Amino acid sequence: MNLLESTDCIFPSQTSAKPQETLNALRFDNRFVSELPGDPDILNRRRQVSGACYSLVKPTPVAAPRLVAYSREVADLLGLSTQACESDAFAQVFTGNRLLPGMQPFAMCYGGHQFGNWAGQLGDGRAINLGEIVNGHSRRWMLQLKGAGPTPYSRTADGLAVLRSSVREFLCSEAMAHLGVPTTRALSLTLTGEEVERDMFYDGHPKMEPGAVVCRVAPSFTRFGSFQIFAARGELDVLKQLADYTLRTDFPHLGEPSPEVYLQWFEEVCRRTADMIVDWMRVGFVHGVMNTDNMSILGLTLDYGPYGWLDNYDPDWTPNTTDAAGRRYRFGHQPAIAHWNLAQLANAIYPLIGQVEPLQAVLDGYAGSYRDAWRQMMARKLGLNAFEPATDEALITELLAMLTLAETDMTIFFRRLARLEADDLSPATTGDEALMSPLMEAYYVPEQVTPAVRRRTGDWLRRYLERAGRDNISPRTRRRRMNAVNPKYVLRNYMAQLAIDKAEQGDFTLIHDLLDLLRRPYDEQPEKEGYAAKRPDWARRRPGCSMLSCSS
């Protein structure tokens, strides 16, 4: 076939519990390991693993675990106190030196399409799941260490991670969560006390860098590629076991597994994926490497590698140097790539359903679901009551074209647009320059704002203000709506790079400052106004700011 949280705390009254007692009280049930077939070979050696969803493997002990930062919000989800998170025992456990009672570490087996080509077995090459906990509100969370040593799926790599990439993953996971984008989370960032050799751009210039580990947290880390590997190998019994487990564990509301329920499940995966991509487009996020092994079955943003946020609006921009030639994973192509990836998932689960037509119908529905969700999202970005096709299709099409006429900072443009108030001026008689005045801060190169650009922008602003006026809402209400969905602060690449530069010198203050800043991305934070400014010119082409690789 070929088819195109609220804060949950286990210990609300145990704030005086000793850190080790709090950690030991985490309740592991490890359902993934207990209910799915595992690799019978217990040796941690690189190999092809057949007929198994996972391999048991322990993290590699390191020299000197040290906590750099942790997310108090994720700690609350798990029921971990401040005292526990700031203890030496915490650093030991979440760097991989010590296992807690009930932990059963393993690495997952999966395959995937990478840059459109089938890559065969991939698997958790530098990720080790410590186990699944169930918190005091019966919420299930998988704890996973990234960078804790080799696994059978590491191929020729070492399974380690460096501080540079780990800072980026830690900060971005939490930044996305606070933006309201579906995502995996990050509990902690630790140093290993060891050096790791990395060639950042694979250009023959390796260097030694500080080793680090991120503890990632999600209800599940199951991916599209988790199903693809068993379909590709013809291991249909394992495919069915994994699908049934996923339905019962992560989609219990759909009912007991059957061909009809598999189809409903695929429809929900398509919808969740569409919603996730719409949120990416809303905040200007570019994933950078949308391989099928990086697509979550839960519709969560997964695997933060060479990601980036748009500074100047450019639908063709990709942060990934590996993708520089083809730009397969560029910003504007993300919705289509998600569709393609869903088609590969449909191919994989076809044996469970046995009919092409209903799968194709669900897949075809993705485009409509995405389009409808995207239109409503754009209406919200503009502060409108709802999307009205008769007027808003052309209005938004012209807006996106207009944003490319000069280098225009997407984040700043929408925040400044919210300030525009028809009550303070007469759009029909106000000149283009005065009409555009609140927006000028969004332009990187003022010389590009030519008279022709001013005329076209002014014409659009008049149409927009006239359209917004028909909704009969106050400027204050429109501004409040817009500021609730258009962030003022995002994790621009240069900001992450500055934090990395300081961290590599032993100064972690900027990591903590950014973590705090990004907790409230939609709020005015006057004391942190500098982080809302345009990307500085020095960052335009600096490695780590504009150019990133899969090693970044």
Which positions are annotated as active-site residues? Answer: 293
The owner of tokens 């799968």 is 359
* H/E segment holding residue 496: helix 493-503
Instruction: Write the secondary structure of 70-81 as one string of H (helix), E (strand) and C (coil).
Output: ECHHHHHHHCCC
10 Å CB burial of residue 246 (0-12, 13-18, 19+) is buried
- DSSP of 307-346: -EE-SB--TT--SBGGGTTT-TT-GGGHHHHHHHHHHHHH
Give the H or E element holding residue 225. helix 224-233
* 304 close to 173: Cβ distance less than 8 angstroms: yes
Beta bridge partners of 144: 129, 216
Helix (H) or strand (E) holding 459: helix 451-469
Token readout for 133 is 């906990």
CA distance 233 to 242: 14
**Which residues in 488-497 are b (16+ Cβ under 10 Å) and which e?**
bbbbbbbbbb
Residues 6+ apart with CB under 8 A from 302: 183, 184, 218, 221, 223, 294, 295, 296
The answer to whether 232 and 118 have CB atoms below 8 angstroms apart is: yes
d(CA 427, CA 423): 9
Q: Are 482 and 383 in contact (CB under 8 A)?
A: yes
- Tell me how far apart the alpha carbons of residues 261 and 146 are, in angstroms, rounded to a whole number: 33
Going by C-alpha positions, the residue among 165, 369, 156, 173 that lies closest to residue 271 is 369
In contact, 114 and 344? CB cutoff 8 Å: no
